[in-house]
């Protein structure tokens, strides 16, 4: 195995947000010994990190072994498989922007209808936009179509590119995604689910995620983690019509209106509770997660008002949805075993 250089080992540790002492503790070594692993090869104190120690370090911090020789994390992710209109492209742009703000090197790989279509718009508006590679997609994609993909769009051509970044996000259509996943073996796939919408549409997100996990497992891909993320969460069932003067106690049909309103509330509450109970079942399956963080319908409001294609972190960094998305970003890091950075 080609040895990792001391410089790349140091860069990798810093990417993980670890001090020398924390890195040493994670592999049961003292700080002075770890510093020798990172010392330049020209220094008399320099010492090659033993392969077993390096493997343990990778295992403890969610890194592939052998690690990326360029000192990058090389994590591959995708928002994929949620019901249509769940906003996977906008989520991709926003989470990538948040990771860039943390100092990570980020890349988006997009189909013709994904993030790539908004890159020019962001440039015209002079907003920063994550680096993006556009790949060719077929209108009706079959596995054999990989033979016809141009070199720049094939999964094999993307593998060395992924290694140059800390985080790479695939923003692909439903028909093509699983074939790229099969070849590239993502670290994390997240299905967005709009829990405030029709129950059947939310079942689609749940079933798509489970089906994808079963498919990739049959292909002997066991490293990938899967998560379901609630987006556009609405608590409109807490709305009080009396408070807003929509019904008054003096109305002749007050009791009838009030009863109808509460029945609607109870129905909405029950459907939401049933969905959350269903989603919680994911925790019982290996590598499956139901994320604790979520975005509210305030995110939808900001997205519609500011248009698509550039991140909310550029327009409203202190808004409620921006705060929610930071929580989503931090939970993604935890799922990947990457420590949050302290500021």
Give residue-wise pLDDT tens across range 296-335. Answer: 888 877 766 555 556 888 878 898 889 999 999 999 999 9
Q: What confidence score (pLDDT) does residue 238 get?
A: 58
Q: What confidence score (pLDDT) does residue 61 get?
A: 81
Q: Tell me which DSSP letter residue 340 carries.
A: P
Q: Measure the CA–CA gap between 248 and 224, rounded to whole angstroms.
A: 55
Beta bridge pairs of residue 18: none
- The answer to whether residues 188 and 225 touch, using CB atoms and an 8 Å cutoff, is yes
Domain ranges in the chain are: 6-60, 75-335
- The alpha carbon of 139 is separated from its chain's Cα centroid by a whole number of angstroms, namely 26
Q: What confidence score (pLDDT) does residue 190 get?
A: 95
Determine the longest span between alpha carbons in the chain, in angstroms: 92
Q: What confidence score (pLDDT) does residue 92 get?
A: 93
pTM of the model: 0.78
Q: What confidence score (pLDDT) does residue 333 get?
A: 94
Q: Measure the CA–CA gap between 288 and 228, rounded to whole angstroms.
A: 8
Who wins on pLDDT, 228 or 254? Answer: 228
Q: pLDDT digit string (tens) for 201-235?
A: 788 888 889 999 999 999 899 899 999 999 888 76
Q: Measure the CA–CA gap between 176 and 113, rounded to whole angstroms.
A: 12
Who wins on pLDDT, 265 or 76? Answer: 76
Q: What confidence score (pLDDT) does residue 70 get?
A: 65
- CATH T-level topology, domain 75-335: Rossmann fold (3.40.50)
CB atoms within 10 A of CB 246: 11
* Omega of the bond leading into 114 within 30 degrees of 0 (cis): no
């Amino acid at each position: 195995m080609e040895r990792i250089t001391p410089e790349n080992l140091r860069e990798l540790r810093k990417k993980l947000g670890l001090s020398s002492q924390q890195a040493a503790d994670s592999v049961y070594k003292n700080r002075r010994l770890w510093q020798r692993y990172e010392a330049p090869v020209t220094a008399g104190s320099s010492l090659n990190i033993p392969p077993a120690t390096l493997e343990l370090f990778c295992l403890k911090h969610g890194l592939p072994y052998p690690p990326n020789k360029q000192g990058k994390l090389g994590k591959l992710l995708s928002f994929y498989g949620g019901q249509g209109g769940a906003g996977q492209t906008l989520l991709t742009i926003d989470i990538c922007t948040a990771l860039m703000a943390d100092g990570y090197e980020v890349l988006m790989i997009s189909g013709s209808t994904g993030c790539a279509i908004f890159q020019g718009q962001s440039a015209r508006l002079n907003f920063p936009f994550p680096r993006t590679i556009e790949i060719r997609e077929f209108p009706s994609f079959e596995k054999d179509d990989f033979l016809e993909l141009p070199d720049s769009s094939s999964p094999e051509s993307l593998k060395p590119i992924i290694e140059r970044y800390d985080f790479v996000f695939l923003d692909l259509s439903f028909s093509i995604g699983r074939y790229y996943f099969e070849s590239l073996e993502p670290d994390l796939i997240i299905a967005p689910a709009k829990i405030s919408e029709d129950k059947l549409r939310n079942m689609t997100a749940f079933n798509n995620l489970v089906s994808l996990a079963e498919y990739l497992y049959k292909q002997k891909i066991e490293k990938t983690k899967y998560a379901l993320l609630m987006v556009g969460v609405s608590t409109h069932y807490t709305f009080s019509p009396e408070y807003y003067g929509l019904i008054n106690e003096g109305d002749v049909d007050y009791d009838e209106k009030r009863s109808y309103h509460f029945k609607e509330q109870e129905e909405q509450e029950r459907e939401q509770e049933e969905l959350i109970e269903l989603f919680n079942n994911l925790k019982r399956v290996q590598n499956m997660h139901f994320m604790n963080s979520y975005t509210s319908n305030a995110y939808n409001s900001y997205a519609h008002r500011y248009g698509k294609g550039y991140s909310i972190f550029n327009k409203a960094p202190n808004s409620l949805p921006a705060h929610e998305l930071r929580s989503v970003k931090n939970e993604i890091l935890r799922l990947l075993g990457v420590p949050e950075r302290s500021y």
